[in-house]
Chain A
Amino acid sequence: KNEVEQSPQNLTAQEGEFITINCSYSVGISALHWLQQHPGGGIVSLFMLSSGKKKHGRLIATINIQEKHSSLHITASHPRDSAVYICAVRSVEETSGSRLTFGEGTQLTVNP
């Protein structure tokens, strides 16, 4: 079992729909990242969370430390949101380094 599990693996939505991507992890963490990867590869950091909730534009990320679970929500989805969304965690044992463990990603396609 992977330390970081994402669901769903693939998600197709119609423009305007509310989207939720889930991430569960099995280790104690000091931080959780939500990342976006477009075709071609480059990764953009969307959020870094250690507790609670963060919002940026139409994106909202939440984390429940006790349940070891995080969600990424996209409101009023748009075709330009189509990308791979990846969850990554920094283990609480990483006292000095900044090594991340990644989920396998969720491929989101938003159709017009």
Chain B
Amino acid sequence: DAGVTQSPTHLIKTRGQQVTLRCSPKSGHDTVSWYQQALGQGPQFIFQYYEEEERQRGNFPDRFSGHQFPNYSSELNVNALLLGDSALYLCASSLWGGAEAFFGQGTRLTVV
């Protein structure tokens, strides 16, 4: 049983570009949450998707958007990249309403 998988593992982009990160949840899970972890800090909640809709959102600008597909996989899109968007982006999957979460290995985004 595959756990949570994220792609790509590493990515380098230039300021102003757009990026798409992908996440496949653990088998049987229907909810995907995205987190941003800056170097030396704890992860910060970006948003959460369930039934193909954004259900909750953290304090992130509209440049951060997402999508969930019928197979529960999810994408995180970031437009107009800034140097400050450089971080590890983590995906967590769970059951809607469940307390247990499983994390992917993350995507390391570097904006130059």
Report A's interface with B, CB cutoff 8 A: 4, 30-31, 33, 35, 40-45, 48, 50, 86, 88, 90, 95-105
Inter-chain contact A48/B106, CB cutoff 8 Å:
no
Please name all residues of chain B whose beta carbon is closer than 8 Å to the beta carbon of A40 when the two chains form the complex. Answer: 105
B56 interface contact, C-beta 8 A: yes
Please name all residues of chain B whose beta carbon is closer than 8 Å to the beta carbon of A43 when the two chains form the complex. Answer: 43, 90, 103, 106
Q: List 9 A-B contacts (CB under 8 A).
A: A33-B101, A41-B88, A41-B90, A41-B108, A43-B43, A45-B101, A99-B56, A100-B35, A104-B40
**A40 to B, closest residue via Cβ:** B105
Inter-chain contact B100/A48, CB cutoff 8 Å:
yes
Report B's interface with A, CB cutoff 8 A: 31, 33, 35, 37, 40-45, 48, 50, 55-56, 58, 88, 90, 92, 94-106, 108
Please name all residues of chain A whose beta carbon is closer than 8 Å to the beta carbon of B35 when the two chains form the complex. Answer: 100, 102
Of A4, A30, A101, A104, the residue contacting B99 (CB under 8 A) is: A30
**A100 to B, closest residue via Cβ:** B101
Of B102, B105, B106, the residue contacting A45 (CB under 8 A) is: B102
Inter-chain contact B103/A96, CB cutoff 8 Å:
no
